[in-house]
Amino acid sequence: DAGVIQSPRHEVTEMGQEVTLRCKPISGHDYLFWYRQTMMRGLELLIYFNNNVPIDDSGMPEDRFSAKMPNASFSTLKIQPSEPRDSAVYFCASSADSSGYTFGSGTRLTVV
């Protein structure tokens, strides 16, 4: 298994632009999580899905953030419009029911 696959690995964009981050979870994992990591706040849970259905999006910072999971093998996190304070590393993770997470390698987002 290739693990959780995220793309792109790095993204540099200008303020105001739309950013889309992508994630392919491990096959058979029915939970998918999006996290944001910064030095100031550490790992923050943004949203998670169970069987492709969003369960808790209370961690999504603003309406500029949205996430979708159209099928069991793909999820996106979109920021529109992006702002410099969105700069962070965004991780996707997946898990089978009540077992440990497997994280992807993350997308480092820089908004200038």
Partner 1 sequence: GESVGLHLPTLSVQEGDNSIINCAYSNSASDYFIWYKQESGKGPQFIIDIRSNMDKRQGQRVTVLLNKTVKHLSLQIAATQPGDSAVYFCAENIGGGSYIPTFGRGTSLIVHP
45 binds partner 1 (CB under 8 A): yes
Cβ proximity to partner 1, 66 vs 105, nearer residue: 105
Q: CA 90, CA 70: separation in Å to the nearest integer?
A: 19
Measured distance CA(16)–CA(11) in Å, rounded:
14
User: From CA 86, how far away is CA 88, in angstroms rounded?
Assistant: 6
x-marked contacts with partner 1 along 4-23 as a string, rule CB under 8 A? x-------------------
Report d(CA 110, CA 84) in Å as an integer. 7
Tell me which stretch binds partner 1 (CB under 8 A): 12-20, 21-29, 75-83, 99-107: 99-107
Binding-site member from 7, 50, 52, 76 for partner 1 (CB under 8 A): 50
